[in-house]
Amino acid sequence: DQQVKQNSPSLSVQEGRISILNCDYTNSMFDYFLWYKKYPAEGPTFLISISSIKDKNEDGRFTVFLNKSAKHLSLHIVPSQPGDSAVYFCAASGVQGAQKLVFGQGTRLTINP
């Protein structure tokens, strides 16, 4: 019973182009969605979030889109840079309180020069 799914284990993108990472969820009670970035041997770092009352949130090169009817969110990175190479996790909260996050499996993004 995986409530948050990232169906692409890996993604390879040319430097300077757009990276699009996708995430699907099953529980309509989630009210907040977040993206985390993780480098090897480090903990995940918070990247960007979006409330369920919005459909878009931007922060510099990063934009998250939320499509509630499809239960789908995506992270756009424009332009992609070599330092963006990492594993990206989407996460959702709002079910059962206490700000608990449910994580997807992660997508490994590789930016090629």
Partner 1 sequence: NAGVTQTPKFRILKIGQSMTLQCAQDMNHNYMYWYRQDPGMGLKLIYYSVGAGITDKGEVPNGYNVSRSTTEDFPLRLELAAPSQTSVYFCASSPGPMSYGYTFGSGTRLTVV
With beta carbons less than 8 A apart as the criterion, state whether 88 and 32 touch: no
User: Distance between CA atoms of 99 and 9, rounded to whole angstroms?
Assistant: 26
Candidates 85, 88, 104, 111: give the one binding partner 1 (CB under 8 A). 104
| Positions in 62-81 near partner 1 (CB under 8 A) | none
Using CB under 8 A as the binding rule, whether residue 23 contacts partner 1 is answered as no
With beta carbons less than 8 A apart as the criterion, state whether 4 and 94 touch: no
Candidates 65, 79, 101, 110: give the one binding partner 1 (CB under 8 A). 101
Q: Give me the least distance between CB of 41 and partner 1, in Å please.
A: 7
The number of residues that bind partner 1 (CB under 8 A) is: 27
CA separation (Å) from 61 to 22, 40, 80?
A: 16, 22, 8
Instruction: Provide the token pair at 32.
Output: 């907040």
- Contacting residues toward partner 1, per CB under 8 A: 4, 6, 9, 31-32, 34, 36, 41-46, 49, 51, 89, 93-94, 98-106
